[in-house]
Each structure stands twice: as structure tokens, then as C-alpha cells.
A and B are shown apart, each in its own frame.
Chain A
Amino acid sequence: MTAMAQPATKTPVVDVRGVATRFGDAIVHESVDLAVHPGEVFALVGGSGSGKSTLLREIILLQRPAAGSIRVFGQEVVGMGDDAALPLRRRWGVMFERGALFSALTVAENVGMVLTEHTDLPPRLIREVAAVKIALTGLPADAGPKYPSELSGGMRKRASLARALALDPELLFLDEPTAGLDPLSATGIDELVRSLRDGLGLTIMMVTHDLDLMWRAADRVAVLGHGNIVGVGTMAELSRSDDPLVRQYFHGPRGRAALEQAWNRR
């Protein structure tokens, strides 16, 4: 284990303050504050339409909030231009919910493309490093020459993760890493997230619905609801929370099953 959840004395890797988002008249975020510390696995949860993915898109510069400040690696990213953002973008990797693999390229080429664009490695070494990333995400070696359309949903997610890891990012964003996967593949993702954090010393921020994933992999969890963060802490802390929205989330039938399972594992 290299780095566990650090106390808040270090500068947060992601620091969101007072972010507000509106789509026309609909208010998505009123004022969101959260901080992700180096080396932690941070999960952002909330019901459908609570604006989790929107917040993620704002952090990775795909969308601009109406107000507020977002700092990544200590740099303000709201309103940042593409040129200024390039060095930052090389330091983080993003795995999209539906994979977003380039359909015209094989899995190995998807990963290799990032390396070709940003490094001067010879083609042979790029192929090798791409194979390493593919193996790291738990895909079999013969997945490399396949096209995304030939892969199953779970394999596509892993391939997308391999591409996100291509440049050895310090910060990894995962959008719904287990959505649409069978329980066995989802458990594989839990273990993968932890082993990546421990082995590569990554900071991971994920958006998820999956309570099992949170119990097994997340150091801290923030619950988004009514346009604000209604609770943040470890899973154990949140499960004792009094906030009605948090209770609804963690003490529904699924929440309770996940809780029991988590207790049984100890």
C-alpha cells in the first residue's frame, strides 16, 4: 500500500467550490463544494438526474459551470483555454460511461494512439506498453487486436480504462465503472480499482450508483442531492448519517444488503 487516504493537510487534487450549474431554468447544482485528496478513491453518488456526470464533465473541462471555482492539481480550470489545459489533460485519464472507444481502431490502437500523440516512443515499444495497459486492466492478451464492436460490454469498459491509463495519469476519472456489468465483472472492477490505486499510486474519482463498489473500493463518498452535497465521509460514517436523502440512499433494500455484506466481510 503506497498511499492511503491522507489527512486534509495536503492540497486537494480536485477542489470544487461553490459550483452552480443551470440548464435553462432547471437548476442542476446550487452550490457544490467537495475536495478529493491525493491517493484516495473518492466516489460521487446521487440519484439519476442529480448532476453527478455533469459535475464530472465540468471538472474535466467538457462543460462550463455557471458559477464557482474548480481547481485541479491546484490550477483553476473554469474558463481555461484548450492550450492551457493540455498539460493538465495529460495528467488525468477519463473512462467514459459507454467506453467511447474509437470504433475504427483496435483496442491496442486505441491505447497506442494516445502514446503516439503525446510521446516519442518507437512503434514497437508503444505496442508493448499498450499490451501492458491492456493486461493491467485484466483483459486477455488476444483482446488487443480486436475492434470495440467485437467486445462485450465489460471488456469494452476495461479497454476504455486501458486507454485512460495510457499516459500513466496521476488522476483517474471513472464514470459509472460498473454500470451495465454482471455482478462477477463488477466485482472484478472493484478489485481493479483498488489494485490500480495501490500499485500505481493513483487518485481516483468515480461517479457511481453501485453500493457494493463503494463499500469495497471507496475511501470517501459524497452524496449529491437537491443541487448540493448532502453528505460526505466514509461509507461507515454515511451509513450512520441522519440526513433523510442519505438515509434513503443507504438504507433502501439494496443499501441494506450491501451493508450487511460489508459487515460480513470483516
Chain B
Amino acid sequence: MASDARAELTVATSGPNETATGARCAGAWTLPAASDLDRTLAAVRWPTAGEFVVDGAGIVALDTAGAWLLHRTLRTLCARGCAARIDGLRPEFASLLNLLAAREIPLAAPVPPAPGLLARVGRRAWGTIAGTGGYLAFVGESALALLRALRHPRTLRWRPILHNIQTAGVEALPITGLLSFLMGVVIAYQGADQLQRFGANIFVVDLVALAMLRELSPLLTAIIIAGRSGSAYTAQIGTMKVTEEIDALRTIGVGAQELLVLPKVVALVIVMPLLTVYTDITGILGGMVMARTKLDVGFDAFVDRLDEAIQLSSYWTGLAKAPVFAMIVALVGCYRGFQVTGSAESVGAQTTMSVVQAIFLVIVTDALFSIVFLWLDL
């Protein structure tokens, strides 16, 4: 259908600044020319009455874009009260024009209106409120499912739990270990200068051990797991939602909560404290290495001092946070997955939200823990 003939539109007028009395089209009225033709058509002063004939005999190629321009022009003219028609078209082009005329095509394609500022703010606020309510409902449903499972422990699905322990726990060992080791190195390094000034080199043990055990190790682990596993939970459940697998589960009579949420929550609650103990150890190892190279505190001296520096309560307060963080990460990850609607973009958006909200809640909870521990004098 392609043709090299340039598209032309010649408009006959009875004089300058007069309205058009007729038009002649020639050349290839196709997509590449549509932009120019559209501009030319817009510049013409069209009549509002009488007969108007378009001569289409010169058209050598016509596609839907060109046909649309002709059709739109004729229809606009007819709507303004002209008796407009096109003559001399080749039969195949005429049939294309008839094809368009047979369909109901809006003259001006509707542009979806952009919502105003107030509407956007309102929608956002409502979304947040509904999100909070939905989240609470989800936590409630999960708790009920957990209670049911605890009453009949056999219904708990151990295979997915073990699988999740493998993927979220065992496979996370290298990255969590490496990062907390580096964290130990950094804390010892940062403190070294200050401690050396007072000749208090040995107190690097207190610094590293307390910071790691009480705060950093559980927090770091939770943040890594939120990024690693929480996001995976959202993406998995979200994709299952898009492909209607969640609906299929419901029809088969298997609760999505039992099959998808509980194993993840249980697995993380088991795995997170273990990971925290592990990162406690690797973090202190990092501090030990730094203490020896920078502060001349040997491994023996470090371990000796460790015994005095930390009380058992420091260890337990850090460890107590881990299962709570685990629940936050797992529940937020799963909840966000269920919030996915239809599109691939929505999976991405919910995954982002899952990680951001999980980390946010983990840090807020950590602050609450600090206050509570202060009250309890731990």
C-alpha cells in the first residue's frame, strides 16, 4: 500500500480570506503524512452551509489514518450543516471509508481528566486509612489462622515451612554474616580513636558487644530479611493474585492464609532469632579483628573482657526483638502481596511499599522496645 507520492490537499476558495468551496486530495494519504495533513486541514476555513465536494480521485494510497482524516473532515462538515461528500475515490478506498463510517467513532477522543489537588489528597488519605484498616484485619485473620493451626498442629504445613527456613534463613547466612562482620569492624574502627585518646583501649569490647547485641544485630538482620524475603513474599503472592491462583486456591477450599501466610510467618519467627544469634557472633568477630589491628587488644584479652562487659540481659533483650521483627516483616510482605491488583506495575509498586513499610515498622518497634526496656530497667 505504501507509495512515494506526496500527500496533497488543494482547497478552492472564491477569494482570499473566503471560506473553502471545494477541495482536491492527491498522493498517499498515509500515516507518515498524517501529521502534516492534520495541520493543513486545521488551517482551512470551512464553510457552514451549502454543498461541498471533495475530489478524491488523486489519492493513490490510503490507510486508516488518512481515511480517518477524510472521514473526520466530512463528518464535521455535515454536522455544521453542509452537504459534504467525497467523489472519485478508488473502490477499495471507498470501502475503507465505509468501514469507518459503519463504526461509531467519537469525533474527539476523550481525554481522561486529571484529578484535582483536593481529590488527590483525599484519595491518598483514604488509601492510607483503608490500608491501615485492611492491615489490622489481615493481622487478625492471620492470628485466627495461627490459633486454628495451633489447635490442630497437624494441619500446619511443615514442608513449606522448612522450604522457607531454607530460603529465608540458611541462604541468608552469607550476606547477614558478612554485613554484621563489617558492622563490627566499623564500630570498633570509629570508637578506636576516642578510646585511644583516654588510654581506654579495652573498652572497645563494651562498645562493640553492647551495640551489636542490644541494637544493631537484630535491627540489621530484620532489615536484610525485609529486603530479601519480605519483597519476595510480596512478589510471589502478588503474581499469584494476577494469575488468579489465589482465587483457584479459594475455590479448591484451601485457605490462602494457611498455605501462603502461616508457613512464612512461622518460618521467619523460627529463623530470625537464630540469624540474630549468628550475626551477634559475626559482629563481635568483626570488632575483635579491628581491636587487634588498631588498638592492640588481642583476642584473649577481648574474650576475657567480654565476660565482664555484657550481662545476660543485653543478650536477651536483643534476641527478644527478633521474633517480633520477623512477624512484622512476614505479615507486611504477605499483606502487600494480597493488595496487588491486576497489573504487573502493581506488583512492583506493592513490593516497594512492602520493603519500605516493613523497615519503617521495624525501626519504630525498635524504638518502642528501647522505651519499654528502659522502664523495666533492663
Contact = CB atoms under 8 A, between A and B. Distances in A.
B111 A127 contact: yes
Interface in B226-252: 242
Interface in A155-183: 165, 167-168, 170
A145 interface: yes
B92 A201 contact: yes
B104 interface: yes
B95 A199 contact: yes
A135 B92 contact: no
Chain A, interface size: which category?
Answer: 35 or more
* B interface, over-half SS: helix
Contacts of A170: 1
A152 B68 CA distance: 27
Given A104-B343, A128-B109, A136 B38 contact: no
Interface string B16-52: 0000000000000011101100100000000000000
Given A131-B109, A132-B105, A168-B30, A149 B341 contact: yes
Contacts of B341: 149
Interface stretch (A25-33, A114-122, A218-226, A245-253): A114-122
Question: In the complex, which of the residues A121, A138, A140 has the most CB atoms of chain B within 10 Å of its own CB atom?
Answer: A121
A129 B64 contact: yes
Contact of A119 (B32, B100, B242, B346): B32
Nearest to B36: A120
Interface residues of B, number: 35
Interface string B325-352: 0000000000000000111111000000
A120 B37 CA distance: 12
A141 interface: yes
A198 B98 CA distance: 11
A108 interface: yes
Contacts of B159: none
A103 B343 contact: yes
Interface string B184-205: 0000000000000000000000
B68 A132 contact: yes
Interface of B: 1, 30-32, 34-35, 38, 63-65, 68, 72, 91-92, 95-96, 98-100, 103-106, 108-112, 242, 341-346
Q: 5 shortest A-B CB distances, which residue pairs?
A: A149-B342, A103-B343, A104-B345, A127-B109, A199-B99
